[in-house]
Amino acid sequence: MNRMSWQLKKGADRRVRGGHPWIFSNELAHSPRQIEPGTLIDLYSDRGEFLASGYGNPQSLIAFRVLSRKKDDDLSSPDFLLGRLRRAWRRRQDWGFAGSFRLVFSEADELPGLILDRYLLATEGSQVWALQILTAGMERLLADPLPVLQVFADEGLPGWDGTSVVLRKDAAIRKLEGLPVAEPQVLRARGQGQEKEQGLARAQVEVRLFDAPAATLTVDLVNGQKTGFFLDQSWNMKLVNELLRMRSWRKSQLKQGEEFHVLDLCCYVGHWSLQMARTIRELGAEPVVHLVDVSASALALAAENLRRAGLRFFTYPLDVLKDIAQWPAGPFDLLIVDPPALVKSRKDLAVAEAAYVKLNTEALRRARPGSLVVSCSCSGLVTEEIFSAILARAERKSGVRTHWLTHGGQSFDHPILGAFPEGKYLKMRVLEVLSGSAKKISGSIEEPRIIFLSK
């Protein structure tokens, strides 16, 4: 396929030479308006030097995204895409990822606009590939993803016969590319008739925290958030598990058979709670989990996942910001604060910061002295510095003193290019509560209150 040529303004080539994968429209020496969104383009400096090839979009502030820095690469060839997929797979295997993990993370894997998550189904040994297509260029390159995915699947286990494919074009960010938002599509599934889609909407997925035993969670790979699950917290969960296992913590907090209360805010399908509760029980205490989420369908799946593991739990169908007065009161031994992204644009940053402060203040007020608070932000515009300031403000407002034990971020199946800080979005801190007047759990704890609502 022939490619158009674009030229940069004088001095605008420094970032792209340094490895950054984006060019903004105001860095071009001409208007990008003459092309169709997603057109393949060769990019040149003001002196006529080849810099990169990729695709352009006149409707986006990000006018050009890099696919390759080799002029001879045939970007429209299936072999180009297969080469990128194979390299991404090898990298994940080298780092020990097994079961379910992110196979392609957009710019970090030199496939901008593509998210590809691989889910291993625990009950059948088959796999599901869930794709998000976020840009016009990737929409054109992967107009029909099945032929490329079939070749790739047949190079390993379980092969194409054991592979289902779900295509997600429902992310609101597509609107910034001039793309429509569409309902999820099951492009390929095992089974017959409606059973195919129904099976993927209640898929039992195998998740491993590196060398830990696999956990099985029921998730909705058709209509669930993002691609149906959140795979980016695996390294953070491993860190917190290690803290729970440390000798001093076990000696002071985890007494044989004693109840250990976990508050999981924005729990989604209960992954954090399940992983932490398994470790708590392994160490001899009896976990009691309090699940909070605004989504009734997510709470129903979380309840199913914890029930399967034989755990004691309560569910609270609450909006964590609007319904703070209805949060369980505490005190808690482990608190997980993992809200969805609260910042969509820079103009929302101040409001979002206040919301993060509010959430963390209320969590700290419910923390028992000696407890751990795990606080996360997945908003890319909330930097590490801003997040640290948020937690410091929450500590002052709560009247609780803490030690900041460690920090984390997105797991390395979601790698960050050194030249592309925009690829970093997830922050995590673990705080040990030193002092404070935590509230007591209100009421008696008897049977779980599970809320099931039909769609």
145-200: per-residue pLDDT in tens?
A: 999 999 999 998 789 999 999 999 999 999 999 999 999 999 998 754 444 666 89
Domain 232-435 in this protein, CATH class = alpha beta
In terms of residues, how long is the chain?
Answer: 455
Q: What six digits make up the tokens of 273?
A: 């709670």
Residues of the chain with pLDDT under 50: 192-195, 440-455
Rg (alpha carbons) of the chain, rounded to whole number: 23
Question: Which of 379, 346, 377 minimizes the C-alpha distance to 359?
Answer: 377
**Which pLDDT belongs to residue 253?**
63
CA distance 142 to 340: 28
**Which pLDDT belongs to residue 250?**
60
H/E element, 394: helix 384-398
* β pairing state of 259-265 and 22-24: unpaired
Q: What six digits make up the tokens of 212?
A: 């830990």
Span 261-282, pLDDT tens digits:
999 999 999 999 999 999 999 9
CA distance 438 to 53: 57
Residues 337 and 265: beta-carbon distance below 8 Å: yes
Q: Is 190 helix (H, G, I), strand (E, B) or coil?
A: coil
Residue type at position 403: H
Sign of CA dihedral 28, 33, 38, 40: negative
Options 3.40.50.300, 2.40.128.110, 3.30.365.10, 2.30.130.10; CATH for 5-68 is 2.30.130.10
Residues 208 and 98: beta-carbon distance below 8 Å: yes
What does pTM read for this prediction?
0.91
**Which pLDDT belongs to residue 438?**
56
Domain regions of the chain by residue span: 5-68, 78-207, 232-435
- The neighbour count for residue 346, using CB atoms within 10 Å, is 8
H-state helical runs in 59-178? 78-94, 136-141, 146-153
Between the alpha carbon of residue 410 and those of residues 233, 234, 425, 426, the distances in Å are 6, 8, 7, 5
Options 3.30.750.80, 3.40.50.360, 2.40.10.10, 3.40.190.10; CATH for 78-207 is 3.30.750.80
Q: What six digits make up the tokens of 204?
A: 């039992």
**Which pLDDT belongs to residue 125?**
78
Phi, psi of 202 (to 5 degrees): -135, 55
The C-alpha angle 21, 420, 167, rounded to 5 degrees, equals: 65
**Which pLDDT belongs to residue 53?**
98
Q: What six digits make up the tokens of 388?
A: 């640290």
